[in-house]
Amino acid sequence: MDTIHDLKTWQNIRRSKIASSVRVGFVPTMGALHAGHASLLERARRECDVVVLSIFVNPTQFDNPEDLAKYPLTLEADLALAARLGTDYVLLPDHAQMYPDDYAYQVIENRFSRELCGAHRPGHFNGVLTVVMKLLNLVRPHRAYFGEKDAQQLELVRAMVDVFFMDVEIIPCPTLRDHDGLALSSRNTRLAPDDRQKARLFPELLQSSLPAGTVRSQLEKAGFQVDYIVDRDGRRYGAVHIGGVRLIDNVIR
Ligand code: PAF
């Protein structure tokens, strides 16, 4: 496995060492890898000739500096997992390389990105779409793998690729859940034991047949701060805070 910090080095490898007939699979991440990320890497390994992982904690998608400062960093374990799963290249760019323009250029979507998480995290999806566009242009994968836990992100990335005629297939991958139903997320490690116990109520109520308003009030009664519980196009989306940690999830209805 090659670990690459310098983007010029990567671009040379991509140009000169990876033939156009080779199928490249890409898993973009912010690190703190868990079994959900592992399932994306495994699928990319099964379906592609070369697997590329990126680890970049993208500051432009954090609306809250405290959330960015607390984002878990587990690089050593991440690299060990990636190597175990047969990843070929890991890209570890820094901020200066990713944003030489200091974020003057941005990808902005004006509709769906303003709803759900976007309504509570101003600018979040501008940051996500901008960094994903940059990463896809750098890696030029045939397939890029995204988790369905971040369903709004997945939808926006899919639409971006479509409207900008980008030559990549976006592959949605199912949400992985812990034994009690909590969707796997890098943020789960920040939950205090009591809050982790309580967190199971979130997927439980989201999956119930109760109306969205009732789910919201039951979560609030249990001590969650609720950003939204919304039914939209056959899916129920939710975002809550517990003990200072923000959790999102969604289920098909
Ligand atoms: O889902 C994530 O981890 C991030 O939003 C992504 C797609 C890697 C962009 O920073």
Domains defined for the chain, CATH in brackets: 2-173 (3.40.50.620), 186-252 (3.30.1300.10)
User: Is 24 a pocket residue for ligand 1 (Cβ < 6 Å)?
Assistant: no
CA 217 – ligand 1 centroid, Å: 30
Tell me the one-letter amino acid at 208.
S
Name the residue at shortest CA distance from atom 2 of ligand 1.
Answer: 29
CA distance 20 to 95: 29
Tell me, using a 6 A CB cutoff, whether residue 33 lines ligand 1. Answer: no
pLDDT band at 135 (very low <50, low <70, confident <90, very high): very high
Reduced to 3 states (helix: H, G, I; strand: E, B; else coil), residue 139 is: helix
Q: What are the pLDDT digits (tens) for 82-114?
A: 999 999 999 999 999 999 999 999 999 999 999
Q: For residue 229, what pLDDT is reported?
A: 98
Could you read off the pLDDT of 148-159 as tens digits, one per residue?
999 999 999 999
pLDDT tens column, 158-181: 999 999 999 999 999 999 999 999
By annotation, the residues acting in catalysis are 37
Taking CA atoms only, the protein residue closest to ligand 1 atom 5 is 128
Q: Give the model's pLDDT for residue 85.
A: 98
Query: What pLDDT, on the 0 to 100 scale, is given for residue 148?
Result: 98
Give nearest CA residue, ligand 1 atom 9: 128
User: Contact 109/160 with Cβ under 8 angstroms?
Assistant: yes
pLDDT given at position 142: 98
Q: What pLDDT is attached to residue 195? A: 98
Q: Mapping DSSP to helix (H, G, I), strand (E, B) and coil, where does residue 166 land?
A: coil
Classify residue 178 as exposed, middle or buried by CB count within 10 Å of its CB (0-12, 13-18, 19+).
middle
pLDDT for 55 equals: 98
What does the pLDDT look like over 203-228, one tens digit per residue? Answer: 999 999 999 999 999 999 999 999 99
Q: What is the SS3 assignment for 23?
A: coil
Note the pLDDT tens digit of each residue in 12-45. Answer: 999 999 999 999 999 999 999 999 999 999 999 9
* Ligand 1, atom nearest to 61 Cα: 10
Nearest atom within ligand 1 for CA of residue 29:
8
pLDDT score recorded for residue 156:
98
Ligand 1 atom closest to the Cα of residue 132 is 9
Mean pLDDT of the chain: 98
pLDDT in tens, 42-77: 999 999 999 999 999 999 999 999 999 999 999 999
Q: Which amino acid is at 9?
A: T
Q: What residue ranges in the chain does DSSP mark as E strands?
A: 2-4, 24-29, 50-55, 89-91, 143-147, 169-173, 225-232, 235-242, 245-252
Rounded Cα–Cα distance for residues 195 and 214 (Å): 21
